[in-house]
Structures are given as structure tokens and as C-alpha cells.
């Protein structure tokens, strides 16, 4: 292992980042009594934290302590709060807002805001959050990554891909997130299987997530990681359009 890592990426779930890391080296390491699975490649490392702020906090602390990164990157899916955003659009926000306490965590490059919510927001909740915070999208872990970066004095960025649009009503999912932030997919599938009225929206969400993942990983490969590897973490990457169709 090198003494330090260039870019440390924190996502929630492997499905968000799998097209990028599918051929990366896997390292299973332990920090603070918890086991973490890291993907390593060319001085960069990815950890999939699990869903929610607490899971994001734990994984961020682990990746900082074990890899000593020069830059922290929060990546993953987000729900649109701006009606102009479509599935697969990319956001590079200027700051993340923690809905729990209102704190804001600035990134080193970008524009607009992403709100980090303690719950999976459906259509009704997204409408309320948009009005209350004026953010463009909502995720669950980004602010926790930003808080960890700030507390350790590490530069921070975020790249989010829209997985559900403003009016899309998600199937009930919050109850299937366990205490460690993992999504209980088998239990969710069993729940949906006997509720035919959920089949269509679940299938649509599956397709949307696949599109969002492809868009996110393409953006990381073609823009953020390439630029940062060439310029180094102390040089700002190029300014980009913050809403980019897939």
C-alpha cells in the first residue's frame, strides 16, 4: 500500500459505481472494528459506505485514516428537486447541505447545491425539500463526506447522477435499509413480488438506476479522474456545465 492516496471516493452502494470499479483491485480492510471493502486503482480508492449519513460518516473516516487521501469525492445517485433535471443528468455542486442541522460544506469546484436528507425522499417529500432549501437535488450521504473532509482539512468535491426525477414516486424503500446502511434487496424483492401495483415503478427505478450509474461512471472516467490525475489535487479541475444530459 502507498503511504497516501490521490483521490478517495465514497459512494453508497456498489451498483452506483460498479461500471467504474468492476476491474479494480479489491482490498478488504478493518477500521474501528468494522470491515470495509475498498476498490483500488492507480492511486485512487473507492469505498461503498452504505445508505445514510451515519454509514457515510463511518466510511469517510475509515478511508481517510487508512488511505490518507489528497482529495475526497462524494459520488452516487441523487433525486431531482429541480424539474429541469432528467435521469442521468450530472450535478457537480458547489456545496452540500445537511438537512439535520442546516450546515453547509463547500466543495472545491462546482455550482448549485445538493441536500443530504436523513430519509429516502419520495415525490411529496422532494417537493417540500425543494421549497425549504432551494437545492437542485437530494442525496443521503454527501454532507457526511463533506463534514469528514472539513474536519480533517482535506479538499472535497461531489459528483451526483440523477436516478429519479421530481415527480417520480419511489416504491417504499426506507424500511429495507438496515442499521448498517445496507439495502435488504431480497426482502424488498419479496415485498414487491406480491404487490403488482409496485411492479412497474420498481422496474422503472431499476432502469433509471442503471442509466444513472452509467452516466456517473462515464463522467468520472472521462472528466474528474482524468483531470485530477493530470493536474494534481491542488489544481482546480476545469469548470463544467453542471447539468449534463447522458
- Is pLDDT of 171 > 60? yes
pLDDT tens digit string along 14-50?
999 999 999 999 999 999 999 999 999 988 999 999 9
- From residue 145, alpha-carbon distances to 14, 127, 132, 141, 202 in Å are 17, 25, 22, 7, 29
C-beta of residue 163 within 8 angstroms of C-beta of residue 79: yes
User: Is residue 228 very low, low, confident or very high in pLDDT (cuts 50, 70, 90)?
Assistant: low
| Per-residue confidence (pLDDT) for residue 4, from 0 to 100 | 59
Q: Which domain holds residue 224?
A: 5-231
- Is pLDDT of 152 > 50? yes
- Percent of all residues in the chain with a pLDDT value above 90, rounded to a whole number: 82
SS3 223: helix
- Kindly provide the residue ranges of all beta strands, DSSP E only, lying in 81-195, ordered along the sequence: 90-91, 95-98, 104-106, 113-116, 137-139, 156-164
Q: Examine residue 242 and state whether it is found in any structural domain, yes or no.
A: no
Q: Examine residue 20 and state whether it is found in any structural domain, yes or no.
A: yes
- Is pLDDT of 230 > 60? no
Q: Examine residue 245 and state whether it is found in any structural domain, yes or no.
A: no
| Per-residue confidence (pLDDT) for residue 242, from 0 to 100 | 38
- Average pLDDT of span 147-157: 96
Domain count, the chain: 1
| Per-residue confidence (pLDDT) for residue 179, from 0 to 100 | 87
Write out the three cell numbers for 231. 493536474
- Kindly provide the residue ranges of all beta strands, DSSP E only, lying in 170-227, ordered along the sequence: none
Q: Who wins on pLDDT, 99 or 235?
A: 99
Q: Examine residue 11 and state whether it is found in any structural domain, yes or no.
A: yes
Q: Examine residue 244 and state whether it is found in any structural domain, yes or no.
A: no
Amino acid at each position: 500500500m502507498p503511504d497516501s492516496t490521490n483521490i478517495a471516493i465514497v459512494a453508497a452502494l456498489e451498483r452506483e459505481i460498479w461500471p467504474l470499479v468492476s476491474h479494480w483491485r479489491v482490498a478488504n480492510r478493518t477500521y474501528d472494528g468494522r470491515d470495509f471493502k475498498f476498490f483500488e486503482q492507480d492511486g485512487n480508492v473507492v469505498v461503498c459506505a452504505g445508505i445514510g449519513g451515519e454509514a457515510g460518516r463511518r466510511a469517510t473516516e475509515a478511508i481517510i485514516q487508512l488511505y490518507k487521501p489528497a482529495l475526497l469525492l462524494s459520488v452516487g445517485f441523487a433525486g431531482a428537486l429541480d424539474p429541469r433535471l432528467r435521469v442521468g443528468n450530472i450535478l457537480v455542486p458547489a456545496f452540500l447541505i445537511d438537512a439535520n442541522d442546516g450546515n453547509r460544506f463547500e466543495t472545491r469546484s462546482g455550482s448549485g447545491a445538493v441536500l443530504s436528507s436523513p430519509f429516502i425522499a419520495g415525490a411529496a417529500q422532494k417537493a417540500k425539500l425543494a421549497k425549504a432549501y432551494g437545492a437542485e437535488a437530494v442525496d443521503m450521504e454527501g454532507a457526511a463526506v463533506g463534514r469528514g473532509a472539513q474536519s480533517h482539512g482535506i479538499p472535497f468535491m461531489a459528483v451526483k447522477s440523477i436516478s429519479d426525477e421530481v415527480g417520480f414516486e419511489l416504491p417504499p424503500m426506507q424500511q429495507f435499509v438496515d442499521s448498517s446502511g445496507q439495502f435488504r434487496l431480497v426482502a424488498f424483492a419479496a415485498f414487491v413480488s406480491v404487490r403488482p401495483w409496485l411492479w412497474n415503478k420498481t422496474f422503472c427505478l431499476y432502469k433509471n438506476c442503471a442509466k444513472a450509474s452509467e452516466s456517473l461512471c462515464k463522467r468520472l472516467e472521462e472528466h474528474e479522474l482524468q483531470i485530477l490525475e493530470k493536474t494534481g489535487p491542488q489544481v482546480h479541475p476545469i469548470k463544467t456545465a453542471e447539468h449534463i444530459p447522458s
